[in-house]
Amino acid sequence: MPTSEHEDYEMEDLYDITEEILEEDGKSDTNIITMGDWNCVVGDESYRNIVGPHGLGRKKHRGQMLIKFCERNGLIVTNKWFRKPKRRLYTWKAPGVRSRH
């Protein structure tokens, strides 16, 4: 997915394309797994049955976009449902600062 350097409309376009693919394959009796780095922060608070309580940081705008996408399509963010060591909660650390994503 595009990084934070890209505009929101580019993210929305990719969500739209992904939704079209999901609609083509149907959702009735199919288990759908989408994998990858969605480049967003969904936070450390549970949200309905979409996001679990074991995330990192505070939810950001792009994280809210992912949550809405999941709501519309009946999907969940699975990696936030399992407790992990703190060092396994992020994949990138800013040089020289404590910012982790």
Q: Where are the domains of the chain?
A: 8-88
* pLDDT tens digits for range 83-97: 888 777 777 777 877
Q: 64 vs 27, 49, 78, 84, CA distance in Å?
A: 22, 14, 16, 22
**At a CB cut-off of 8 Å and minimum separation 6, what does 93 contact?**
99, 100, 101
Q: What is the pLDDT of residue 71?
A: 94
* pLDDT tens digits for range 25-79: 666 667 778 888 888 889 889 999 999 998 888 888 999 999 999 999 889 998 8
Residue 15's pLDDT band (cuts 50, 70, 90): very high
Q: What is the pLDDT of residue 66?
A: 93
